[in-house]
């Protein structure tokens, strides 16, 4: 198990280095391609709610256009918040479509966590978690970040296990 953990760490570092070296225009074009493919998919068209990550400043596709499209399509949109207790590595998926007057608010007004990722602000009594009674998720489609994916869709995450939990 320790050898596998070390192998993943080495692979993550190598891929992150390659991702950081990508030109911002390349990332923007790839982000658009992912958005077109996702928003044109049958899974997206059928879903009433979507959970989606908010992008790191670099090294990931940018998800803001997907979030804007989901809001325009009147889908319930959920995003992660991890900044409450970093020691526990807990993550909550919070509904945001009712909090925003526009998707641009995410980029300009939300606080940033220690990785510089925007997160929904803590609002007393207005939060809607992605879990109903009995901890059943209300998210129909979940878009997860990853450092890398193989041809079978297996994911190498950032290493903290947020999405695994």
Which residues participate in the annotated binding site for ATP?
Answer: 8-12, 155-163
CA distance 107 to 117: 10
6, two tokens: 């070390």
Alpha-carbon distance of 78 to 41, in angstroms, equals 19
**CA-CA-CA-CA torsion for 27, 30, 34, 35, nearest 10 degrees?**
70
Residues 6+ apart with CB under 8 A from 115: 56
Which residues are annotated binding-site positions for substrate?
A: 54, 60
Residue positions forming the annotated binding site? 8-12, 54, 60, 155-163
Output the CA angle 47-52-58, nearest 5 degrees: 150
The residues, any chain, with a CB within 8 Å of residue 108's CB and separated by 6 or more, are none
Paired strand residues for 118 = 112
Between CA 99 and CA 103 the distance in angstroms is: 10
């Amino acid at each position: 198990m320790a050898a596998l953990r070390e192998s993943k760490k080495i692979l993550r570092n190598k891929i992150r280095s390659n991702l950081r070296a990508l030109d911002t225009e390349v990332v923007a074009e790839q982000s658009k391609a992912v958005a077109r493919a996702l928003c044109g998919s049958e899974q997206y068209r059928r879903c009433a709610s979507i959970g989606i990550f908010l992008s790191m400043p670099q090294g990931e596709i940018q998800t803001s256009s997907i979030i804007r499209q989901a809001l325009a399509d009147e889908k319930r949109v959920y995003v992660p918040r991890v900044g409450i207790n970093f020691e526990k590595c807990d993550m909550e998926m919070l509904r945001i479509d009712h909090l925003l007057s526009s998707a641009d608010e995410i980029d300009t007004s939300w606080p940033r966590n220690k990785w510089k990722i925007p997160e929904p602000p803590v609002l007393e009594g207005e939060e809607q978690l992605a879990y109903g009674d009995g901890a059943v998720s209300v998210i129909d489609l979940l878009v997860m970040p990853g450092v890398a994916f193989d041809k079978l869709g297996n994911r190498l995450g950032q290493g903290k296990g947020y999405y695994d939990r």
